[in-house]
Chains A and B, each alone.
Chain A
Amino acid sequence: MTILRQLSQDELSTRLSADGLPLRIGPYVYRIRSKLRTIEDGIRTLYSDFEIANNDDFVDYDIALQQKGLRQHIHHQLEFLFDGTTPFNLIPLGQAYAFLEWGMNWCVSIHANEYLKLHAAAVARNDSAIIMPGVPGAGKSTLCAALGLSDWRVLSDEHALIEPDSGKIVPLCRPVSLKNDSIGVIKSFSAKACFGPVSEETHKGRVAHMKADLHSQSHQNQPLSTAAMVFPRYSPDDPQGLSKRRRTDSFLLAAYHSFNYSLLGDTGFNVMKNLIEEVECFDLVYRDMDWAVDAMNTLVEGRHGA
């Protein structure tokens, strides 16, 4: 078994620019090919502890970022390739790294239907998972990053993958995507935070990814049971609090923010129903990061007196 950090700088850059580097990420193998320096830097920083798959392993998602032709060079643009096709328009060079990560999300969002995919972050403490669905901007990624820096295990920043048969959540740990002010919030939250290349002026503003596999079990693949569903909401004005919320509308909200709930039909409904029956649901309103992490600790230690 080879871990990425065992490759020399030259080996990494050769493999990325030649046939592509196959990385084991959660239940999948992504093969990434690119000659771009920023992609190489980002991967070396953020994926250093990931396992490199063998060349003859099955590849789930074959992706590449490349600059092709005079026009793309003149306009400082590049293209994203999936399976040799270009599903997106050209990307500004300065946003290359953010697009690699988004493209990797897209692969799962579009192609994987063996799981119920909730649009949610997921974290774990003591082998029980907490799913955190959230509308964009609700602060789920920021909280997820802070928890990852506080001895929690990050299971995913984007996709909570629920196995239909077991109802358990399958870890897909990748770097956490942070935007604008969140980047500074996390940097001041912990000196341990390690960031990849910053992409400026994306449609989401300034974007940077944080290394998220900091836990000793980050690269284990066993599915976990879910203990709670927490709907985080960052608000500078409202009082902070962790309060129980009804399962019924938690069901609806989480299903609404799912990538494939309706696609799965009956299966989607049954998986969601079983999940919601076994978890408790909470609203978490926060403005202070330390307080929010504490509240989450309280929750798993069963000290929450709701």
Chain B
Amino acid sequence: MSFLLKDALLNPQSVCTLNNTELNQLLSQARNSRLLAALGVRLADYGVLESLPYAASRHLTSGVVIHEKQRRDLHYECEKILAVLAPLGEKLVLLKGAAYILGNLTAGRGRLVTDIDIITPEASLARVEAALKQAGWRGSPMSAYDEHYYREWGHEIPPLTHRKRGTTLDVHHNILPPTSDAQVDASILWENLLEVQPGVYTLSHQDIVIHSATHLFHEGEFHHGLRDLWDIDRMLRDFPRYDSDFWNNLVPRAQSLGLTGSLYHALSYSAQVFNTPIPKEVLTSAESPSRRLRKPIMDFLFKRAFTPDPVQRRLPFRNIALFALYIRSHYLRMPLYLLLPHLIRKAWKKQLDTDHSELERGKEAGE
């Protein structure tokens, strides 16, 4: 599996030989995969950003500027959230992009975020939500059905938006919905938190990887699948350097969380796509007979999900594969007796909304 973006990320020097058409393709792939800023940072680290034609390098630099702004905002928002949580005696535990950036992980370099994800024990959820609302975070208006969906079947409350600053906050109480196939005991996530700044925590190295894998392989929309896999590759290369027991503890930890399946996919596709060096025995210990059996079909689907668009040569059946993965993610999330009525309702609602909203987004273009 080879494409320009992969070559550029793994071997930054390779961009020096690209012609304009290839550079155009590389930037489109990076932009559409939400990896423009990450690529910019990486090329700058290797001193090759400067050697690109200015016409191309300025787009990368423009992407990095957006990342820098998000990074500044993130620091500020975390101070604000910390000020809400600290009086309650609750820890601020960051997940996903915010955790990578504030945890100063390699995966956070050039990482773009759209919202801030935090996790709080389920028992504290009500008072955390109340305190955040007191401090200016608001839920957006949503239908009773959607509200019910979040509260009953979700692992997070409906997203909160700050009324002045407009930033979006997702408050989780678990890393997977309670209706999903794997029942995760979230309480054990609190055992090994890492304090990355005074009062600001992330999950442990193992748990960050497992969560990232779980999120990616339970997620139905693969628009940023490649970006998420890049996060995982960065972490798998990074963590063993800080933590000599990283590999030994990874699979056993996933087993005790009941998330070995997702970890197996993450390890396997990170190695396939980004050549991540993974000890063979780690991969073998995450394998199972049924995973081995399903591997050809999974490979077929995920290869398509992890190829950026547009590519030089698009793999056949890409849209069908993405649709199959979308269905799979829902199937993993809820049992069929909940899933079918939910999907029917969503499809029906979508049809109703289409005519109303079609013009709305178009209008924004002219603002």
Contacts and interface: CB of A to CB of B under 8 A. Distances in A.
Interface in A185-227: 202-204
10 contacts: A29-B55, A57-B20, A58-B55, A77-B358, A80-B365, A102-B365, A111-B59, A202-B366, A203-B366, A263-B69
B359 interface: yes
Contacts, number: 80
A170 to B, nearest CB: 12
A92 B363 CA distance: 11
Interface in A46-61: 56-60
B124 interface: no
Interface in B38-82: 53, 55-56, 58-59, 61-62, 65-66, 68-69, 72
Of A59, A113, A263, most buried by chain B (CB within 10 Å of CB) is A113
B259 interface: no
Interface in A109-146: 111-114
Contacts of A106: 365
Interface in A10-48: 29
A83 B366 contact: no
A289 interface: no
A102 B20 CA distance: 26
B78 to A, nearest CB: 18
B366 A113 contact: no
Nearest to A199: B366
Interface string A75-118: 00100100111011111100000110011001000011110000
A62 interface: yes
Given A56-B21, A112-B62, A114-B58, A88 B72 contact: no
Chain B interface size range: 20 to 34
Contact of B19 (A56, A59, A84): A56
Interface stretch (B24-32, B87-95, B132-140): B24-32
Contact of A85 (B19, B32, B61, B365): B32
B361 interface: yes
Nearest to A204: B366
A62 B31 CA distance: 12
A83 B28 contact: yes
Report whether over half of chain A's contact residues are helix, strand or loop; otherwise say mixed.
loop
Contact of A90 (B28, B56, B58, B358): B358
B195 interface: no
Given A89-B362, A102-B365, A112-B62, A265 B28 contact: no
Contacts of A262: 69
B358 to A, nearest CB: 5
Of B23, B59, B68, B365, most buried by chain A (CB within 10 Å of CB) is B365
Contact of B366 (A57, A59, A102): A102
Given A84-B309, A91-B362, A265-B72, A58 B53 contact: yes
A264 interface: yes
B310 interface: yes
A89 B31 contact: no
B364 interface: yes
A171 B68 CA distance: 27
The 8 closest A-B pairs by CB, nearest first: A113-B62, A89-B361, A113-B65, A58-B55, A58-B20, A114-B58, A102-B366, A203-B363
Contacts of B62: 111-114
Contacts of A83: 28, 31-32, 310
Contacts of A58: 20, 23-24, 53, 55-56
